[in-house]
Amino acid sequence: MEKPDKRCAIVRATLDLVAEQGFHGAPMALVADRAGVAAGTIYRYFESKDVLINEAYHYLEERFFAAMMERYPEGAPVRERFLHIGGVLVRYCIDAPLEFRFLEQFHNSPYGVEHRREKLFNKNNRDVITELFNEALDLGVVKELPLPVLFGLAFGPLLDICRDHILHFIELDDELVSRCVEACWDAIRC
Amino acid sequence: MEKPDKRCAIVRATLDLVAEQGFHGAPMALVADRAGVAAGTIYRYFESKDVLINEAYHYLEERFFAAMMERYPEGAPVRERFLHIGGVLVRYCIDAPLEFRFLEQFHNSPYGVEHRREKLFNKNNRDVITELFNEALDLGVVKELPLPVLFGLAFGPLLDICRDHILHFIELDDELVSRCVEACWDAIRC
DNA sequence: CCTCCGAGAATGAACGTTCATTTTTTATCA
DNA sequence: TGATAAAAAATGAACGTTCATTCTCGGAGG
């Protein structure tokens, strides 16, 4: 009987409900129900709904970065590392559609804008992807475009195809995923 | 005193408010205020808020397609026509940030998913962009990928950079826009 | 006098949050 | 150990707001 048992249940309930029905479909009463606690209990663990949602996001973000670093080809050329990241990104998202849907909701909301602004203007930001792109720029293997543009070119379409796959607008398989990631590389490479 | 005077004012007020503050920030009472009518009056013109929002969207969609067809290089090569469309898209969006923000909100909502589903599965769909891509596929000048994937590769990043420009994450000028549109072409071309 | 449009108050449902109360756990001492 | 007191956690009904929508009535035009 650990302490964080309930806390975790609340976070997971939030993730599920937001993923399934959007922020509108996740009122605190429902979150409480799904987590098996009373409405008021949530406020013993989280100051507000905003705090709860941000915590849920960070929980997912960590899981995702962990997945990305598995078998990351550390010393390999830039292109190969990018293909790894892109492939993992897409496969992770379509394997965990609920997590993807939550992330999508989050990014397309004021939460997401704030989160992005902080990341962008907080120069201490030391994540693998930024490092990779900066290295690629130094080496001159990708187009000289602002970082946000490179991110958009490289990952925007990948998220789009994940969404379309989950909505059954297209059917992704391993080969198609590879070709899409390579197309994104074509967009940014010199 | 024409009839459609108030109707139009209501649509424009909806556009403005949703663009500025999102769907949450556009309650009917505020829409009414901004349009210079009373809350109840809206319901004399629109059956519900959903109907009002869909109508606002279609209004914008038409304006946008009209802009895109201005000086469209009808007989030119596929690449040139794509660059025209991409350039117009970006310039239109950053010149009319309110319209862009509304469209973004709309697309990232259940309204947008429904709209996309209908477009995709309604084969009678005869818009210029679909025609262009089908022609490009026939000629073999773009990668053989499903249409939704090509759309994502070609336009996803362009919408991303518009958003980032409007949020002041980047600063677009004509030259940078051109280079971005060309990068998108690199993504889809063979 | 009648018709009907527009106004804005009224309505009821839904929401996040609070708090007085109950239940469970932990600490204290014989 | 067992009894009891203190503390912590959990509860869920209730609150105040906000929202889309409906209702009712005054007044302008015929």
pLDDT tens sequence across B114-173: 999 998 888 777 789 999 999 999 999 999 999 999 999 999 999 999 999 999 999 999
CA distances from B88 to A10, B64, B93, B96, B112 (A): 46, 9, 8, 12, 22
Is there a contact between A161 and B180 if contact means CB atoms under 8 Å apart? no
The mean pLDDT value for A59-72 works out to 94
Of A148, A153, A169, the CB nearest to B170: A148
Question: What is the reported pLDDT for A106?
Answer: 95
According to DSSP, the residues that pair with B54 across neighbouring strands are none
- CA A40 to C1' C23, in angstroms, rounded, equals 15
pLDDT digits (tens, 9 = 90+) for B37-70: 999 899 999 999 999 999 999 999 999 999 999 9
**Residue B158 φ then ψ, to 5°:** -65, -40
B12 and B35 Cβ atoms separated by less than 8 Å: yes
Question: What is the reported pLDDT for B1?
Answer: 34
Nearest chain A alpha carbon to B184:
A187
Provide the CATH number for the domain formed by B58-188 in this structure.
1.10.357.10
Among the listed residues A58, A64, A62, the one whose alpha carbon sits nearest the alpha carbon of residue A11: A58
Is there a contact between B116 and A160 if contact means CB atoms under 8 Å apart? no
The mean pLDDT value for A141-155 works out to 98
Is there a contact between B167 and A117 if contact means CB atoms under 8 Å apart? yes
pLDDT digits (tens, 9 = 90+) for A73-130: 999 999 999 999 999 999 999 999 999 999 999 999 989 999 999 998 887 778 899 9
3.40.50.150, 3.30.499.10, 1.10.1280.10, 1.10.10.60: CATH of B1-46:
1.10.10.60
pLDDT digits (tens, 9 = 90+) for B71-104: 999 999 999 999 999 999 999 999 999 999 999 9
- CA B40 to C1' D24, in angstroms, rounded, equals 12
Please give residues of chain B from 15 to 74 whose alpha-adjacent beta carbon (CB) lies under 7 Å from any atom of strand C. 36-41, 44
Q: Rounded to a whole number, what is the distance in Å from the CA of B104 to chain A's nearest CA? A: 9
Of A110, A120, A170, the CB nearest to B169: A120
Where do the CATH 1.10.10.60 domains begin and end in chain B?
1-46
B1 touches strand D (CB under 7 A): no
Assigned superfamily of A63-188: Tetracycline Repressor, domain 2 (1.10.357.10)
Question: What is the reported pLDDT for B6?
Answer: 86
Burial string for A87-113 (b: 16+ CB within 10 Å, else e) reads bbbbebbbebebbbbbbbbbebbebbe
